[in-house]
């Protein structure tokens, strides 16, 4: 049975499905042939211009006005109303937008300030008191929305915490005082030290900048939204907050100070730091690292003499202290240097 017969049966039976069933023809075959048949072409309607539309000359005039020196920094709606105040009407604001859109000019048309790219800080320390890193973290207080601010300054070579304080607020005045007292305590000479920090309000404040300039200390800042530019402070805070006895909240600022006194005493004098050959930061900072390593070497030499067969490749040696510690080590530098990615301080 042909397609024409099924088409004739469809109105009688009420649907194509019933017509195909009555004709004994698969419904899919009917639809497949029906879709393959050429569709009637619709007549092409000639588009007639809108009689209210602007002429090309008028559109060019509107675009010239919008992009002129007088109105280039203004939105079309503002241009429209300013022209009205001057007794001029060119077109509606929506028409202005359509004209700009036709030339791909619907965007921020004002002159934009272009900030130069921030330079990646590349800092190196080959001995203590050459480069410090400092930052501020929050410690939760007894009530909701209350916290205490912990300021910490760490030497990136020795990992020794040279200064810290806890306050109820973050203050550029407190930051200035902490830095001044710590620099004086460590007997820092002019042009000896670089201090690195992120771009917080206290770190980038004018009092801190003026203080460092007066003392001959070089200041360095992280790039925006780049936490890896300040890795030593971030890692030290992680060690603080992952201690087993670190509380979820502190009952008072006195409790927070008492805890930090215990923690920093342990961190500086008892903590075996993986980044400094498993030495204590206090030993590295005060020049006792080689004495400790020599004592370890004697113990390992004696162990080798007793049981040389237990050491397969060579006699055991204590871990070597890094010759240099970097923040963002350049690729061409010696790979023996310690890079600034400390995950387990």
Domains of the chain as residue ranges with CATH: 3-33 (no CATH), 56-102 (no CATH), 123-276 (3.30.420.10)
Bridge partners, 142 (sequence order): none
**How much is the pLDDT for 36?**
57
Helical ranges in the chain per DSSP H: 3-13, 16-23, 27-36, 56-66, 76-85, 93-102, 172-185, 206-215, 231-241, 253-269, 281-285, 289-306
Residue carrying structure tokens 């195909």: 20
Q: 55: which 2 tokens? A: 């002429």
State the DSSP code for 275: G
What pLDDT tens digit does each residue of the chain (345 aa) get?
566 676 777 777 778 788 888 777 787 877 777 665 566 677 888 888 788 889 999 999 999 999 888 888 888 999 999 999 999 999 999 999 999 999 888 876 666 777 777 888 999 999 999 999 999 999 999 998 899 999 999 999 999 999 999 999 999 999 999 999 999 999 999 999 999 999 888 998 999 999 999 999 999 999 988 878 999 999 999 999 999 999 999 999 999 999 999 999 999 999 999 999 999 999 999 999 999 999 999 999 999 999 998 888 889 999 999 999 999 998 875 554 554 444 444
pLDDT of 274 reads 92
Could you give phi then psi for residue 155, rounded to 5 degrees?
-80, 120
pTM of the model: 0.66
Cα(136)–Cα(240) distance, integer angstroms: 13
Which residues are 139's β-sheet partners? 148
Give the number of other Cβ atoms within 10 Å of residue 330's Cβ.
Answer: 9
C-beta of residue 136 within 8 angstroms of C-beta of residue 236 = no
Strand ranges of the sheet holding 147-155, from the earlier edge strand across to the other edge: 161-167, 147-155, 131-140, 194-197, 218-221
Which residues, other chains included, contact 206 with Cβ-Cβ below 8 Å and sequence gap of 6+? 172
Query: Under the phi-then-psi rule, with left for phi > 0, alpha for psi from -120 to 50, and beta for the rest, what region is 95?
Result: alpha
> Is the CB of residue 222 less than 8 Å from the CB of residue 198?
yes
């Amino acid at each position: 049975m042909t397609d024409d017969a099924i088409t004739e049966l469809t109105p009688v039976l009420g649907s194509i499905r019933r017509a195909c069933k009555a004709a004994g023809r698969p419904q899919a075959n009917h639809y497949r042939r029906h879709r393959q048949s050429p569709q009637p072409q619709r007549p092409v309607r000639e588009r007639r211009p809108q009689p209210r539309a602007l002429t090309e000359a008028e559109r060019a005039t509107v675009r010239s006005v919008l992009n002129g020196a007088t109105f280039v920094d203004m939105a079309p709606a503002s241009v429209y109303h300013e022209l009205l105040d001057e007794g001029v009407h060119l077109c509606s604001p929506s028409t202005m937008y359509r004209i700009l859109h036709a030339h791909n000019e619907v965007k921020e048309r004002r002159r934009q300030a272009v900030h130069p790219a921030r330079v990646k800080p590349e800092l190196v320390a080959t001995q203590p008191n050459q480069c410090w890193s400092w930052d501020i973290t929050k410690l939760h207080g007894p009530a909701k929305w209350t916290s205490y601010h912990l300021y910490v300054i760490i030497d990136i070579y020795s990992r020794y915490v040279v200064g810290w304080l806890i306050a109820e607020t973050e203050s550029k005045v407190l930051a200035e005082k902490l830095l001044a007292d710590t620099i004086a305590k460590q007997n820092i000479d002019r042009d000896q030290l670089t201090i690195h920090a992120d771009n917080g309000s206290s770190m980038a404040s004018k009092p801190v900048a003026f203080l460092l300039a007066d003392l001959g200390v070089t200041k360095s800042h992280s790039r925006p939204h780049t936490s890896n530019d300040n890795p030593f402070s971030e890692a030290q805070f992680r060690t603080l907050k992952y201690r087993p006895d670190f509380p979820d909240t502190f009952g008072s600022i006195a409790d927070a100070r008492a805890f930090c006194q215990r923690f920093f005493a342990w961190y500086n004098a008892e903590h075996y730091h993986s980044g400094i050959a498993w030495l204590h930061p206090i030993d590295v900072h005060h020049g006792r690292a080689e004495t400790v390593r020599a004592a370890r070497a004697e113990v390992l030499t004696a162990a080798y003499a007793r049981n040389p067969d237990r050491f397969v490749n060579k006699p055991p040696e204590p871990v070597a202290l890094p010759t240099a510690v970097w923040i963002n080590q350049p690729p061409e530098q010696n790979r023996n240097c310690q890079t600034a990615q400390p995950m387990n301080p």
